[in-house]
Amino acid sequence: MSMNSLDIVESFGDFKDVKNIDRVTMMRVLEDVFRGMLKKKYGNDENFDIIINAEKGDLEIWRNRSIVEDGMVEDENKEIEYSEAVKIEPDFEVGEELAEEVKIISFGRRAIQAAKQNLFNRIVEIEKEDVLQKYKDREGEIINGEVYQVWKKEILVLDDEGNELVLPKSEQIPADYYKKGDSIRAVITHVEYRNNNPLILISRTAPMFLERLFENEVPEISDGLISIKNIVREPGERAKVAVESYDDRIDPVGACVGMKGSRIHGIVRELRNENIDVINFTTNRTLYITRALSPAKVTSITLDEEKKRASVFLKPDQVSLAIGKSGLNIKLAARLTGYEIDVFRENDDEEYDIDLEEFADEIDNWILDELKSIGCDTAKSVLALSVDEMVRRTELEEETVKEVMSILRAEFE
């Protein structure tokens, strides 16, 4: 197989077009590879010059030897006898330097193949390092990609340059459903090596994703007039975002929500209808906790700063709002403010009543429906009836009626 310098450098040129390696790096790698070949063949590469012409795509190797008197050669690699030198150029003299070109073909076919493989491996490594570094610098950015493959535990996504991104199941919003070819938005969270390949992890559940979506939608945030102080999320369910304005003329909540919700609407849609509460940040803890519990209206709060606990008192009809579906509202409010929150019904002197809906976690829904069917909507309206009358008017057993009444009664004691 004939192989001249042109072939090897050209085969390098092929890589060059595909990959984005700069000239300087390419020349350095090429020289390294050839110096490796020289060391193998001659035991030393110090007396060789490698000249690379990247423009033309060729490469020359020159071996420099000193001319010594016949019989005085100590190092064949670095010295040549006078009688040998004059065969190359008749007017050489002892003590002069002789530079002679080494043809690549003289290395032999196997060495050349090994060099090509080595070259290829080095380029692949540089390429990986390049991808890793590029995405390390982009951690925290939103990226758009296309779903390439969907597996049980993760989704493989390709960006515009064909780099592989991985969206693990744990970083997907529960209502996310993707199939091959869908476009997807997520935030780059972490870059590492997995099995010697760069692994770029992306997320749709990270608070950072919501923060970046706000920056995209709300110019005042990207301009630095409004800052996001904290974000807590239960992905796909609910999020609370505390914002603060550095300019008194700007209402940060209004700016984030937009006219008739125009700005927040796109974000909610992107997050599969996640409910987003935007609240005004304040260093006044009591006020902050009050706002964090929205949409519930708080009557009063007492704080225990030592234990970071807040006792919150609300009117009976506000309690379930404060707690929220599956306790989500209160859980997020606690995470946002850093306080454990205990909710108490405020017991006014005047008679107060409790909506039956409030007991949904203690009393089965079908029982509540049965009670409503006879016109009882509140705890007091049920307790006003006798057990006998309840059994007669509903489909409920006496046992069940007694149990329901004791649950309701306990609330007033």
- Alpha-carbon distance 117 to 109, whole Å? 12
Strands (E), 238-351: 238-245, 275-280, 298-304, 309-314, 340-345
Lowest mean pLDDT among 14-28, 48-62, 75-89, 366-380: 14-28
Give the mean pLDDT of the chain.
Answer: 89
Please tell me whether residues 48 and 62 are part of one structural domain: yes
Task: CATH number of the domain at 34, please.
Answer: 3.30.1480
Question: Average pLDDT for residues 48-77, to the nearest whole number?
Answer: 88
Question: Average pLDDT for residues 157-179, to the nearest whole number?
Answer: 95
Give the confidence band of 59 by pLDDT, cuts at 50, 70, 90: confident
The answer to whether residue 69 sits within a structural domain is yes
Lowest mean pLDDT among 47-56, 67-76, 275-284: 47-56
- Residue 8 pLDDT more than 80? no
Q: Mark which of 327, 351, 375 sits at the end of a domain.
A: 351
The answer to whether residue 302 sits within a structural domain is yes
The answer to whether residue 234 sits within a structural domain is no
Question: Average pLDDT for residues 397-408, to the nearest whole number?
Answer: 91
Please tell me whether residues 325 and 377 are part of one structural domain: no
Please tell me whether residues 288 and 328 are part of one structural domain: yes
Give the confidence band of 296 by pLDDT, cuts at 50, 70, 90: very high
The answer to whether residue 171 sits within a structural domain is yes
Please tell me whether residues 21 and 122 are part of one structural domain: yes
The answer to whether residue 114 sits within a structural domain is yes
The answer to whether residue 299 sits within a structural domain is yes
The pLDDT, as a whole number, for residue 244 is 97
Question: Average pLDDT for residues 253-278, to the nearest whole number?
Answer: 95
Place of tokens 């390696």: 21
- Alpha-carbon distance 85 to 67, whole Å? 7
Place of tokens 């709060």: 301
Residue 222: how many other CB atoms lie within 10 Å: 13
- Residue 13 pLDDT more than 80? no
Task: CATH number of the domain at 289, please.
Answer: 3.30.300.20
The pLDDT, as a whole number, for residue 241 is 98
Q: Which structural domain, as residue segments, surrounds residue 400?
A: 356-412
Answer whether 298's CB lies under 8 Å from 317's CB: no
Q: Mark which of 203, 220, 243 sits at the end of a domain.
A: 203
Give the confidence band of 22 by pLDDT, cuts at 50, 70, 90: confident
Cis bond leading into 295, ω under 30°? yes
Question: Average pLDDT for residues 156-174, to the nearest whole number?
Answer: 95
The pLDDT, as a whole number, for residue 9 is 55
When divided into structural domains, the chain yields a total of: 4
The answer to whether residue 146 sits within a structural domain is no
The pLDDT, as a whole number, for residue 231 is 98
Query: Which is more confident, 259 or 24?
Result: 259
Q: Mark which of 179, 203, 227 sits at the end of a domain.
A: 203
Query: Which is more confident, 409 or 283?
Result: 283
Query: Over pLDDT 90: what percentage of the chain?
Result: 61
The pLDDT, as a whole number, for residue 43 is 92
Please tell me whether residues 60 and 120 are part of one structural domain: yes
The half-sphere exposure of 8 on its side-chain side, counting CA atoms within 13 A, is 31
Query: Which is more confident, 12 or 24?
Result: 24
The pLDDT, as a whole number, for residue 189 is 97
The pLDDT, as a whole number, for residue 157 is 97
Please tell me whether residues 365 and 346 are part of one structural domain: no
The pLDDT, as a whole number, for residue 1 is 32
Please tell me whether residues 392 and 313 are part of one structural domain: no
Lowest mean pLDDT among 12-21, 76-85, 104-113: 12-21
- Residue 389 pLDDT more than 70? yes
Please tell me whether residues 91 and 192 are part of one structural domain: no
Please tell me whether residues 380 and 399 are part of one structural domain: yes
The pLDDT, as a whole number, for residue 15 is 53
Please tell me whether residues 13 and 123 are part of one structural domain: yes
Question: The whole model's pTM is what?
Answer: 0.70
Place of tokens 């290395």: 107
pLDDT of 194-230, one tens digit each? 888 899 999 999 999 999 999 999 999 999 999 999 9
Question: Average pLDDT for residues 120-126, to the nearest whole number?
Answer: 88
pLDDT of 247-259, one tens digit each? 889 999 999 999 9
Sign of the CA dihedral running 35, 40, 41, 45: positive
- Residue 302 pLDDT more than 80? yes
Please tell me whether residues 24 and 123 are part of one structural domain: yes
Task: CATH number of the domain at 180, please.
Answer: 2.40.50.140
Please tell me whether residues 129 and 172 are part of one structural domain: no
- Alpha-carbon distance 47 to 57, whole Å? 23
- For residue 261, give Cα distances in angstroms to 113, 185, 217, 218, 284: 65, 21, 11, 12, 27
The answer to whether residue 19 sits within a structural domain is yes
Strand partners for 100: 63
Sheet with 238-245, strands from edge to edge, namely: 226-234, 238-245, 275-280
**What is the DSSP track for 344-390?**
EE---SS----BGGGGTTTS-HHHHHHHHHTT--BHHHHHTS-HHHH
